[in-house]
Each structure stands twice: as structure tokens, then as C-alpha cells.
């Protein structure tokens, strides 16, 4: 029996489309199992037995010490910070958060913006290879976990990550940035769902690595983003990570996406870059920065400063945030908390004068926790830079 001409034409069109479409794109590689292993054995979350691939005695001894850190960070920092920011955040803030110079500090991002659905941190540090912990020898495991505890202790003590500490975890079986992010999940009561790695394309979109990508990049080592940093000892594929997570024990709960991008944010590297295109594609954002070496005071970091002033609607920071003259020119209002007598590190004289005046011209508002650097006298301080409410 002859088929109708219409049916034959339809079959031919379908075959043509199938041939032109080519093979289906490979799925991005999900390192969820590696994230779970790091969550349990490094950040000491989730409980349960230590996987057979690791020495249980070493992990248990490590986790006994790490577990003792969590109650203190909640009591001294997270609880008062959550309470204060709940009174400060206006309704209707964007749920997309950008945190430049935020290496390792997902802890503070979640305390400042608990309603966020997407958080991007950017720093010179690479996210790290999640696959090497299981293959570490006992000596390597013990040494790497001790270094991790030291760096985590500094993060929990100062509520931000010092660059010199972050450099210590750019090599070895414990991925430094990812390890700090997973500790933030434990402290806030979250658990990892998925972990993928990506590159940022020229137009700001993300290409997630599949197995073929990872194999092709296996021998291409990551490189430091600035001269004084450290070359990692793992593949460049592990520079940028996307970690998704949700509340522990809530399989239907809200999924939060955290992306960390290893990037030099100075003008020469950022201007016209894929990273800037990615940031601009986020639209309006909530922002934060702290302990950022006063880089936003400098002319050589004007691109990231201009990006913030063009796209943020509300920003929490210490005095390493946007200087008053730039904020005022862009139409922002700055509100101060705590006390400020001068920059913690050596900084511009004129900007120091402007910040001292900013604090002196406003009534004292109490701040019950450290948010970034202290000032030159060891006093805690914070400021909110915000668009005026109509």
C-alpha cells in the first residue's frame, strides 16, 4: 500500500533533522559523590561511617576537633549576624548575590543573605580538585587535614579568609576553596546536592565540563591568577565550581546555587573579559565584600567598582567596600555601624579621611560581631551601601 505523500514528506523531514542535529550533547560530569566524601571527611558534616577509602582513625580524630569549632562560630558570629541583617535587609532584594574578593567565605554570604538562590564568589584562588582525597596516603591525609583545620580555624575566628592561608590549600588532596564552602554548609545546616565544574564563555554563558572535556584537560595544569600566588598542582578544569545545596533532611527544599570563579579582578584582567560578561548577565544583584585589602579604593580596580555601582542595589561591607565619593556620585547612601578610626592595612590617606568623616557624621550604631577587617584600633565596623528608598 502506498503511503500518502504528506506522510512521506514528514518522514523525510524528520530524518533530515535527526541527521543535522548530530549526536546528543554529553551531560556535565557531576562530582556529587566526591562532594559528599569531602563533606563527611573534611568538613565533618552528615555523620555516618567513614568511607573505606580513608583511614577512619585519622578522619575521626580530625572531625572531633572540627566539630568543636561549629558551636562557637554559630554562637559568636552566625546567630548575631543573622539577627542583625534580618532587621537591616529591605524587602524585595534580589536573590542573586555577588561577592568579589570572597575567597572561601560562603559562610558570611549565607549569614548576610539567607534568602539567596544564587551566590557568586570571586577570588584569585581556584575551587580545587575534589577527586584526590580518596587516593591520599595516611601521611598525606593527616597532613592535609591538619592544614585544613588551621585554615578553617582562621576563617571561623576572623569570619573571613586570609590570602596567605588560602594559598596553603592550593595544592594537595584537600581542595581549599571547596573545603571552606562545605564547612559553611555544615555550619548553616545545609548538605551538598551536586558539584559541577565549568568555564566562562566569551559571552558570559557557562560551559559545564563533561567527561570528554575533563579527559582533554587532565594534563593542563591550572595557573596562578596573579604573580604572588601559587600555581595549583591539579587540572585547570577545577578552577571554577558550581555547588548546589539544600537544607539537611529536606529533599524537596529550596536549592541554592553557589558558583566560585577563580579570577583576577584588576582592571587589566577584568575589563572586557568573559567574567565581566557573566557578572553583567546577572542583572540587578545584592552584593558584599570584606577583608578585601582595600582594592576597591584603587584606580586599578575601577572596573569591578563600576560594575558594583551599576548593578547592585544593596551592599554590606567593611571599609574595604566602595569609598564614599564613588558611592555618593552613583546615588548611593551609606550607613555606618561600629567605629572606624583608620584602615587596618596601609591605605590611601584621602580615602581614610573620607571614611573617618563618614563615621563621624553619623550616630553610633552598635555592631556585635566582626565583619571583615577591624579598623586601625582593632574596632569592629560595617557599612551598608544602598540605593535610597523612594
Point out the least confidently predicted range of 147-161, 320-334, 349-363.
147-161
Dihedral, CA atoms, 152, 154, 160, 161, nearest 10 degrees?
A: -70
In a domain, 165, yes or no: yes
In a domain, 362, yes or no: no
Indicate the pLDDT class of residue 18, thresholds 50, 70 and 90: very low
Task: Please tell me the predicted confidence (pLDDT) of residue 335.
Answer: 98
pTM: 0.90
Indicate the pLDDT class of residue 206, thresholds 50, 70 and 90: very high
What cell numbers appear for 187 in the block? Answer: 555550619
In a domain, 175, yes or no: yes
Q: Does residue 19 register a pLDDT over 50?
A: no
In a domain, 283, yes or no: no
Q: Does residue 12 register a pLDDT over 50?
A: no
Indicate the pLDDT class of residue 52, thresholds 50, 70 and 90: confident
Which residues span the domain enclosing 219? 26-263
Point out the least confidently predicted range of 13-22, 65-74, 218-227, 378-387.
13-22
Task: Please tell me the predicted confidence (pLDDT) of residue 169.
Answer: 66
In a domain, 41, yes or no: yes
The proportion of the chain whose per-residue pLDDT surpasses 70, expressed as a percent, equals 90
In a domain, 209, yes or no: yes
Give the mean pLDDT of 288-312.
97
Looking at the structure of the chain, the number of domains it has is 1
Give the mean pLDDT of 203-224.
94
In a domain, 303, yes or no: no
In a domain, 312, yes or no: no
Amino acid at each position: 500500500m502506498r503511503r500518502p505523500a504528506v506522510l512521506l514528506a514528514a518522514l523525510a523531514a524528520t530524518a533530515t533533522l535527526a541527521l543535522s542535529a548530530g549526536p546528543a550533547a554529553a551531560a556535565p560530569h557531576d562530582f556529587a559523590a566526591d562532594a559528599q566524601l569531602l563533606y563527611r571527611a573534611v568538613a565533618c558534616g552528615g555523620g555516618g561511617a567513614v568511607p573505606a577509602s580513608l583511614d577512619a582513625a585519622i578522619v575521626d580524630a580530625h572531625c572531633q576537633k572540627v566539630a568543636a569549632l561549629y558551636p562557637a562560630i554559630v554562637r559568636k558570629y552566625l546567630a548575631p549576624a543573622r539577627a542583625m541583617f534580618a532587621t537591616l535587609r529591605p524587602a524585595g532584594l534580589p536573590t542573586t548575590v555577588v561577592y568579589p574578593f570572597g575567597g572561601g567565605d560562603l559562610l558570611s554570604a549565607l549569614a548576610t543573605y539567607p534568602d539567596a538562590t544564587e551566590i557568586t564568589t570571586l577570588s584569585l584562588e581556584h575551587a580545587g580538585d575534589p577527586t584526590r582525597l580518596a587516593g591520599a596516603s595516611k601521611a598525606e591525609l593527616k597532613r592535609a587535614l591538619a592544614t585544613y583545620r588551621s585554615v578553617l580555624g582562621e576563617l571561623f575566628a576572623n569570619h573571613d579568609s586570609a590570602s596567605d592561608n588560602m594559598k596553603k590549600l592550593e595544592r594537595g588532596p584537600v581542595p581549599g576553596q571547596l573545603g571552606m564552602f562545605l564547612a559553611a554548609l555544615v555550619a548553616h545546616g545545609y548538605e551538598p546536592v551536586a558539584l559541577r565544574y565549568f568555564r566562562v564563555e566569551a559571552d558570559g554563558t557557562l560551559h559545564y565540563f563533561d567527561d570528554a572535556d575533563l579527559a582533554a584537560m587532565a594534563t593542563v595544569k591550572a595557573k596562578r591568577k596573579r604573580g604572588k600566588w601559587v600555581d595549583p598542582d591539579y587540572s585547570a578544569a577545577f578552577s571554577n565550581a558550581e555547588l548546589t545545596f539544600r537544607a539537611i533532611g529536606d529533599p524537596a527544599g529550596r536549592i541554592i546555587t553557589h558558583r566560585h570563579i577563580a579570577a583576577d579582578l584588576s582592571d587589566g584582567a577584568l575589563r572586557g573579559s568573559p567574567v565581566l560578561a557573566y557578572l553583567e548577565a546577572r542583572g540587578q544583584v545584592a552584593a558584599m565584600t570584606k577583608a578585601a585589602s582595600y582594592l576597591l579604593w584603587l584606580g586599578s580596580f575601577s572596573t569591578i567598582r563600576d560594575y558594583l555601582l551599576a548593578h547592585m542595589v544593596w551592599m554590606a561591607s567593611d571599609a574595604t567596600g566602595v569609598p564614599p565619593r564613588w558611592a555618593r556620585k552613583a546615588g548611593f547612601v551609606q550607613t555606618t555601624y561600629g567605629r572606624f578610626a583608620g584602615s587596618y592595612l596601609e591605605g590611601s590617606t584621602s580615602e581614610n579621611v573620607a571614611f573617618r568623616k563618614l563615621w563621624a557624621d553619623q550616630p553610633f550604631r552598635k555592631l556585635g560581631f566582626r565583619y571583615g577587617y577591624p579598623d586601625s584600633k582593632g574596632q569592629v565596623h560595617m557599612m551598608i551601601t544602598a540605593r535610597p528608598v523612594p
